[in-house]
Chain A
Amino acid sequence: MDTQKEQFVSVIEQNKGIIYKIANSFNTDEEDRKDLVQEIIFQLWRSFPGYNNKSKFTTWMYRVALNVAITWYRKERKKTALMSPISENVIELLEDDVPIDNEANLKLLQQFINELKELDRALMLLYLEEKTQKEMAEILGLSETNIGTKVNRIKEKLKQRFLKISNN
């Protein structure tokens, strides 16, 4: 059991960015995001013993995390929260002095993601994470052809959004 706990901490450490980005895309409010991160990690831990090596660990993780995030997003947040939420953050965002080039565009991109419908939002995240169409299909339960069509449609929307901003 202890080995399993350590293994879990290690894989969460390696993939904490995934959890944070998913939570951030489904919840922009800082307090709610903290609860969603807790919820995702809690559900990952509960499902961890059932993970078999049939799919890549990250594919499995995306499935669980996206399912939790979408379910959370669709319910009243307070109702799905842990009954006695832990006040501290599971994943903390520390100060980082190195700025990102083009911070305004990043904000715009995040805003665009947050405006998408749940399934499109999940798809957009997977696309940005450079997942293959096969992996995306496996995570979302869609055909690869379907994924290709949808990715192109969202990319076009995103392009139009940036074009509109630059024209203004």
Chain B
Amino acid sequence: MEELDIKQLWSSYEAKLERSLALNLKVIKELQTQKVAHKLRSFRRNQVTGVILGVIWIAFLVFLLINTLHNIYFVISVGFIILFNVFATVAYIRHLVMLAEVNIEDSVTESQRKITEIQSSFTNVGRILVLQAPFYCTFWYNSDLVANAGIGFWLIQLVIVSFFIFISIYLFKKLTYKNRHIKWVKTALESFGGKTLTKAMDFLNEIEEYKTEQS
């Protein structure tokens, strides 16, 4: 089939559609009055909720920190937890800014790139938050405990904290897009919403290749 035949085929399809397509004005009016709630806004709503909850959680942790300044172990552990949560909250605010910058009137590659970047960033926040896990094992230490606990206690603590440090760093390093060829990483990423990340990164690469490919 030659190019001309294909174009003719398409124009006869167009002519058929012209004859048979009818607009439902009632539905258009409903869409125009925006009586319908829209799920695309749910992502924005989730990010706003994330920011509010993040701020409340950080405020609560800061309040605890200020009232427990005498305990250096608590200050260090909760201090780090606060930093991780500040990071996540700032990332959520950044997503809202990025979302506001998405314009569906932009060219297809440009707006799809922006949408995809938000998706990949969103999934990465969870991966980074994994790193705060070890600090949840140490915030309850205090001077009395450090002075009086026996060797058995510290050995158990060492095992627990080391395990959480190891596992959180390991997961942080492994659960990345570039490791998706490893079966368990792929499964884990997909179970924790990373499928979106994988798809997003694939598409980002595709857009970049699409833009640069010349021959």
- What mask results when residues 25 to 64 of chain A are scored 1 for a CB within 8 Å of chain B, else 0? 0000000000000100111010100110000000010011
- A93 contacts B20, C-beta separation under 8 Å: yes
In the assembled complex, which residues on chain B have CB atoms less than 8 Å from the CB atom of A81? Answer: 39
Q: How far is the CB of B53 from chain A (nearest CB, A)?
A: 21
In the assembled complex, which residues on chain A have CB atoms less than 8 Å from the CB atom of B22? Answer: 91-92, 94
Q: How far is the CB of A138 from chain B (nearest CB, A)?
A: 7
- What mask results when residues 87 to 110 of chain B are scored 1 for a CB within 8 Å of chain A, else 0? 000000000000000001111111
Interface of A is mostly: helix
- What mask results when residues 190 to 213 of chain B are scored 1 for a CB within 8 Å of chain A, else 0? 000000000100010011001101
B178 touches A (CB below 8 Å): no
- Known contacts: A86-B36, A93-B20, A106-B9. The answer to whether A159 contacts B108 by CB under 8 A is no
In the assembled complex, which residues on chain B have CB atoms less than 8 Å from the CB atom of A82? Answer: 36-39
Q: What is the size category of the interface that chain B forms with chain A? A: 35 or more
Q: How far is the CB of B55 from chain A (nearest CB, A)?
A: 26
In the assembled complex, which residues on chain A have CB atoms less than 8 Å from the CB atom of B106? Answer: 63, 67, 141
The stretch among B24-32, B66-74, B76-84, B179-187 that forms the contact with chain A is: B24-32
Interface of B is mostly: helix
- A16 contacts B21, C-beta separation under 8 Å: yes
CA distance A31 to B26 in the complex (A): 19
CA distance A150 to B207 in the complex (A): 13
Top 8 A-B pairs, shortest CB-CB distance: A141-B107, A96-B20, A162-B1, A141-B109, A83-B37, A67-B104, A128-B10, A90-B27
Can you report 30 residue pairs joining A to B where beta carbons are below 8 Å apart?
A5-B32, A9-B23, A17-B18, A20-B17, A51-B105, A60-B105, A63-B104, A67-B112, A71-B112, A74-B203, A82-B36, A83-B36, A83-B38, A83-B39, A84-B36, A84-B37, A88-B26, A89-B24, A92-B22, A101-B9, A105-B5, A106-B9, A119-B206, A119-B210, A128-B6, A128-B10, A129-B10, A142-B107, A146-B214, A159-B2
